[in-house]
Chains A and B, each alone.
Chain A
Amino acid sequence: MAHDRFQGHDYYQVDELLTEEHLLIRNSVREWVKKEVSPIIEDYAQRAEFPKQILKGLADIGAFGPYIPTEYGGGGLDQISYGLIMQEVERGDSGIRSTASVQSSLVMYPIFTYGSEEQRKKYLPSLAKGEMIGCFGLTEPDHGSNPSGMITNFKDAGDHVILNGAKMWISNAPFAHLAVVWAKDENGDIRGLIVERGMEGFTTPETHGKWSLRASATGELVFDNVKVPKSNIFPEVKGLKGPLGCLNSARYGIAWGAIGAAMDCYDTALRYSQERIQFGRPIGGFQLQQKKLAEMITEITKAQLLTWRLGVLKNENRATPAQISMAKRNNVNMAITIAREARQMLGGMGITGEYPIMRHMMNLESVITYEGTHDIHLLITGMDVTGLNAFT
């Protein structure tokens, strides 16, 4: 990819709603992405490889568990800081942000929230440092939007349980050291377990041939009579609310992340429109291009305000799952629409790796699907406002 000339966009002076520390965090991560992610990401995405060398850097900038208390190695930061970190990392690439989201919200969050003190102390500090990478197993081949139908299960066998089943579409799976797995116990209750690489019968085959999140490693989790010590089961949670709590945290981060991808596409298209000359003048001077740009910055600005407000609510522990659904759905859709429009503005150049747009656009096809699809989030809002369940 050409030199990263990204500049942030803040049409409504939303920065004034942030603290000095928020801005320092945001700008530091932005600088880090320019230095460590932008120069290499296109190459890794083209080769469909995760750049493992950036894991330590991701940990150093606070992308792993920024809101986990410092006593467990986390950043002890607020939710807006978490959001801003996700925004900037996704500005670089949604795949890299996915790794950070999974580590923070789907692995560290449940260990901190549902885990025993021993589990917290054992795993969280290494996860925060990026020495240990985790993944999250909820989705199954036959159970995506309907996770409660999961088949993966475990049976009591004295001091341990025997786990069987398979999970699919798992970010970080091919290289993760541990997996937070959701499975049914003998009573049919959904429980969370920590499964470690090396446990006999546990394998993580990689998913190949993706056109999206190519710089992120995706795989399956296969459990064939895996002996998991009972001490690896989360003591504090039972039922679907366990994994849904994690997803709330991750979806919140995605709502911010999508703004990063959208800003990168808008920023690229805006600059291109000012430099690309056709019919004797910059294409940014033509009405059809201006319509695209004006709508992009309008949508980005709305998304920035939406997420900022959601961040305030989350800091006060008042954000509802339905509010988070609305932000995830709106912002990812906003970002993918902007990516498609921006791609057109760049003409043929838009399909090349010289510019980040096509990569963002393809990445966002996953983002609009994972962590609750675009349609499912709509039904969550629908149910929230009508009180009527349209899922089943």
Chain B
Amino acid sequence: MKILVCISNVPDTTTKINFTEDQKSFVTAGVQYIINPYDEIALTKALELTEKQGGTVTVINVGDVTTEPTIRKALAIGATDAIRVNGTPRDAYYVAKQVAHVAKDQNYDLILTGRESIDYNGSQVAAMVAEMLDLPSVSIVKSLTIENGIATLEREIEGGKEILNCPTPLIVSATEGMAEPRIPNMRGIMSARTKPLVVVEPLPVPQLQEYVKYDKPAARSHVKLVPSDDVKKLVDLLHTEAKSF
């Protein structure tokens, strides 16, 4: 089985988010970057599939050279090889175009992504790549098995779950539950030294999205405690102070 996993390079989940004074960009100084956690789930699933059935796992990232530590970690976790598209991703369309371009002649049986990146939370790349490559796509998948060229996928839906069958090749976006991410071990880190990381130049792609301004959410107001026997006060407060809800 030949699998492509899309990897985003995102700020660590504990990062304190700050923006530049003109509110046009995110302050990256001192920020640690990690593999997008949902992509890590996708990568682990890809490894589980190939460990069982044989095959290769290629990771792809669209980003400049600063994303290479993240890619190297994916190789240390167990990916076979990696491709870095040497561009600066501005929107999902740009990323999807690059991924689709790399993937189009490679006959991947499966392309996996995370359900969304935890920085911009767009959730668009998987579906866009599927459209560009004319492949079926299933989003936010909790469980995935592949047998005899048929993928069985489980998704959570309102009040229950949905089980789908879909022939490969297909594109799947992963969510929690699909696999338990792995910590790179020493052997993995050592073998990542010599695994191929190919850098390709990006296609010229127009930027469709423009970022006008970044704002932090309003600071949370203080919690007001109401004695449990004072329902009238609670109702008053709900009418007066919490009326926007």
User: In whole angstroms, how far apart are the Cα atoms of A337 and B68 in the complex?
Assistant: 39
Q: Which of B30, B183, B189 contacts A21 (CB 8 A)?
A: B189
Tell me, yes or no, whether A378 is within 8 Å of chain B by CB.
Answer: no
Tell me, yes or no, whether B186 is within 8 Å of chain A by CB.
Answer: yes
Question: Which residue of chain B lies nearest to A34 when distances are taken between CB atoms in the complex?
Answer: B183
**Which residues of A lie under 8 Å from residue B184 when comparing CB positions?**
24, 28
Stretch at the interface among A60-68, A119-127, A284-292: A60-68
Tell me, yes or no, whether A144 is within 8 Å of chain B by CB.
Answer: no
**Which residues of B lie under 8 Å from residue A77 when comparing CB positions?**
186, 190
**Which residues of B lie under 8 Å from residue A13 when comparing CB positions?**
30
User: In whole angstroms, how far apart are the Cα atoms of A66 and B190 in the complex?
Assistant: 11
Question: In the complex, are the beta carbons of A24 and B72 less than 8 A apart?
Answer: yes
Question: In the complex, are the beta carbons of B72 and A75 less than 8 A apart?
Answer: no
Question: In the complex, are the beta carbons of B186 and A61 less than 8 A apart?
Answer: yes
A4 to chain B, nearest CB (A): 12
Tell me, yes or no, whether A349 is within 8 Å of chain B by CB.
Answer: no
**Which residues of A lie under 8 Å from residue B149 when comparing CB positions?**
none
**Which residues of B lie under 8 Å from residue A35 when comparing CB positions?**
183
Tell me, yes or no, whether A70 is within 8 Å of chain B by CB.
Answer: yes
- Report the interface size class on chain A: 10 to 19
B67 to chain A, nearest CB (A): 11
A275 to chain B, nearest CB (A): 15
Question: In the complex, are the beta carbons of A70 and B190 less than 8 A apart?
Answer: yes
In this complex, how many residues of chain B approach chain A with their Cβ under 8 Å: the count is: 16
- The majority secondary structure among interface residues of chain A is helix
Question: In the complex, are the beta carbons of B185 and A24 less than 8 A apart?
Answer: no
Q: Which of B14, B68, B190, B192 contacts A75 (CB 8 A)?
A: B190
User: In whole angstroms, how far apart are the Cα atoms of A7 and B189 in the complex?
Assistant: 22
**Which residues of B lie under 8 Å from residue A75 when comparing CB positions?**
186, 190
Question: In the complex, are the beta carbons of A28 and B190 less than 8 A apart?
Answer: no
**Which residues of A lie under 8 Å from residue B189 when comparing CB positions?**
21, 24-25, 28, 62
Tell me, yes or no, whether A353 is within 8 Å of chain B by CB.
Answer: no
Question: Which residue of chain B lies nearest to A66 when distances are taken between CB atoms in the complex?
Answer: B186
Q: Could you give, for residues 50-85 of chain B, a 1 whenever the CB lies within 8 Å of some chain A CB and a 0 otherwise?
A: 000000000000000000110011001000000000
User: In whole angstroms, how far apart are the Cα atoms of A32 and B76 in the complex?
Assistant: 14
Tell me, yes or no, whether A199 is within 8 Å of chain B by CB.
Answer: no
A235 to chain B, nearest CB (A): 30
Tell me, yes or no, whether B90 is within 8 Å of chain A by CB.
Answer: no
Identify 15 residue pairs between A and B in the complex whose beta-carbon atoms are under 8 Å apart, listed by A's number.
Answer: A20-B72, A24-B69, A24-B73, A24-B76, A25-B186, A25-B189, A28-B184, A28-B185, A60-B185, A60-B186, A60-B187, A61-B185, A62-B189, A75-B190, A76-B190
B: residues with CB less than 8 A from A are: 14, 30, 68-69, 72-73, 76, 183-187, 189-190, 192-193
A: residues with CB less than 8 A from B are: 7, 13, 20-21, 23-25, 28, 31-32, 35, 60-62, 66, 70, 75-77
In addition to A24-B192, A60-B186, A66-B186, 13 A-B residue pairs with Cβ atoms within 8 Å of each other are A7-B14, A21-B193, A24-B69, A24-B76, A28-B184, A31-B183, A32-B183, A60-B185, A61-B183, A61-B185, A75-B186, A76-B190, A77-B190
